[in-house]
Structure 1
Amino acid sequence: MKRTIQFLFFAWCLIATTTSCNEQPVGVGAKAPADAQVLFDGSRQMLDEQWTYWEGPRLAAELPIKWEIVDDPAGTGTAVNSNDPTAAGGQYGTADIVTKQKYRDFRLHVEFLIQQEKGNSGVYLQNRYEIQVLDGDSTRHGMGTVINETESPYFAYKGVGQWNAYDIQFRAARFENGELTEKPLVTVYFNGQKVHSNVAINKVWGGPYSGLDGGNDDGYGITDRPGGIKLQAEGHPVLYRNIWIKELDLAEPNTDF
């Protein structure tokens, strides 16, 4: 009987789309654990309470946030559209939104849907390190990459008009006496598949318009400041929903889960 139960559990793990075998919720539709903080539930109220425009050097948008709350194409509530008019033409940094709360180590869940081909946005960890959202690009700058640091796991992408999910565990850079001693680390699941494991991030890519420390020593001048979760406006209709985070304290340099 015990062997039968073990087999059934293993079989369930192979076909499950929203929960991994280590009982961590991953994939589209993964619900926030009781000890997690919901950052966006589809409502205008939560958007305004939890988020604001990033006050970077290129900021051109003005509050209130102009990202529109729209009906979920899947018919399951509402989502937010990153197509802020200020960012038309790909002017990233002009209307990106960031959480008001700042974080160090954490577990993050984000769901996104690209409505048109070549749709472009991005999920930023600590408002520094981008996990790319970019339809049609399978290069090291493309979909699902720890941008410019890894190969693209494009095989895991569901395509235009479909909801996708990133599940991310992140450990912030460590410092001693103001000096960088351990690089930031990240593990990423893309639609329930582990695609990056304990990737060391070398720099903030994209320059000062991209995120915190982007203008410091060509992005290598990472500092010890905590940062928020940022979503990028690139002038494309990319939707977001079901965003939650759980703060962690990862003593060891290991983000695998």
Structure 2
Amino acid sequence: MKRTYVLPTLLVLLCTFGFTASAQVGIGAKKPKDAQMLFDGTRQMLDEKWQYWNSPRLAAEPPIKWAIQPDPAGTGTVMNSNDPAAAGGKYGAADIVTKQPFRDFRLHVEFYVSKPGGNSGVYLQNRYEIQIFDGDTTSHGIGAVINETPSPYRAYLGIGKWNAYDIVFRAARFENGVRTEKAMVTMYFNGQKVHTNQPINQVWGGKFSGIDGGNDGGKGITDTPGGIKLQAEGHDVLYRNIWIKELDLKKPDTDFKR
């Protein structure tokens, strides 16, 4: 007798449509077992997994001067991006980046803006900035894929509160050194989906901003993997609970469920 085997529905969907995921998002989201903790609040992990980015403007010297301080919410310790070398908003002077580079990934970052106008940023592959800028509702404002999307300011909880970015990122694809598919991102901001399969065109901010920022005005994207970077801009923006899960997204689809 001939037997017919039917693949489970979920497997069929995965094979047909590519990446799909269901994950907890928002403040306090716990690291999955198969993800890597990048910052757990300790000086040990900061020094173990992060380093200053060797920007053309680098002014800081190791060890990393980002302070470890008590969490304003009263749970554990956090790091403060207000490095003395970045005073006056000198981005690229004391930014920190993971020692490990990444291509496709699922990332969780929690941040706390202490004062009005607080400014920092989360860089994907040390190229593409997800902005942190209190008070700005433009494409240069909080939660924006900088200069490429409007700020989803509605999702921001404000100063003096913890906020969370949950991101799935797919790196640009290349053939024979030529970019054939742009980088792409889907993001939840405090549990609200604010970007879905958003393509990213270039690096903004020039050579002090990130990898390839000095190539053809930021349009000369290369296939070099990069780390997760956090920006020092001379402001008291705090970080905690940062984790990442490496992915291999065959298709240009970063959409994922909560």
Question: Is the shorter-chain TM-score for this pair beyond 0.5, marking a shared fold?
Answer: yes
* Identity rate, percent: 74
Aligned residues: 236
What is the one-letter code of the residue matched to 1:212?
I
Shift of 1:176: 0.2
Distance 1:100 1:160 in 2: 30
Distance 1:171 1:247 in 2: 10
Shift of 1:145: 0.1
Q: Deviations over 1:215-239 (max 9, x none)?
A: 0000000000000000000000000
Q: Residue 82 of structure 1 aligns with which residue?
A: 81
Shift of 1:23: 3.7
Q: Deviations over 1:87-124 (max 9, x none)?
A: 00000000000000000000000000000000000000
Distance 1:177 1:225 in 2: 13
Q: Residue 159 of structure 1 aligns with which residue?
A: 158
Distance 1:170 1:186 in 2: 5
Secondary structure of the equivalent of 1:234? coil
Q: Residue 103 of structure 2 aligns with which residue?
A: 104
Q: Residue 181 of structure 1 aligns with which residue?
A: 180
Q: Residue 119 of structure 1 aligns with which residue?
A: 118
Q: Residue 28 of structure 1 aligns with which residue?
A: 27
Q: Residue 225 of structure 1 aligns with which residue?
A: 224
The ranges of structure 1 where at least 4 consecutive aligned residues each deviate by more than 3 angstroms after the TM superposition are none
Distance 1:254 1:149 in 2: 18
Secondary structure of the equivalent of 2:154? helix
Secondary structure of the equivalent of 1:70? strand
Distance 1:229 1:143 in 2: 18
Q: Any residues of structure 2 matched to 1:23-62 within 5 Å, and which? A: 23-62=22-61
Q: Residue 140 of structure 1 aligns with which residue?
A: 139
Provide the TM-score with structure 1 as the length reference: 0.91
Distance 1:226 1:177 in 2: 16
Secondary structure of the equivalent of 2:207? coil
What is the one-letter code of the residue matched to 1:55?
N
Provide the TM-score with structure 2 as the length reference: 0.91
Secondary structure of the equivalent of 2:93? coil
Distance 2:208 2:114 in 1: 25
What is the one-letter code of the residue matched to 2:104?
D
Secondary structure of the equivalent of 2:208? coil
Shift of 1:56: 1.0
Distance 1:178 1:160 in 2: 43
What is the one-letter code of the residue matched to 1:237?
D
Q: Deviations over 1:35-73 (max 9, x none)?
A: 000000000000000000000100000000000001000
Distance 1:25 1:82 in 2: 26
2:71 matches 1:72: yes
Distance 1:140 1:81 in 2: 25
Q: Residue 195 of structure 2 aligns with which residue?
A: 196
Distance 1:180 1:92 in 2: 27
Secondary structure of the equivalent of 2:206? coil
Distance 2:138 2:161 in 1: 21
Distance 2:106 2:61 in 1: 30
Question: How well do the aligned residues superpose, as a CA RMSD in angstroms?
Answer: 0.6
Q: Residue 18 of structure 2 aligns with which residue?
A: none
Shift of 1:25: 1.4
Distance 2:75 2:191 in 1: 20
Q: Any residues of structure 2 matched to 1:10-29 within 5 Å, and which? A: 23-29=22-28
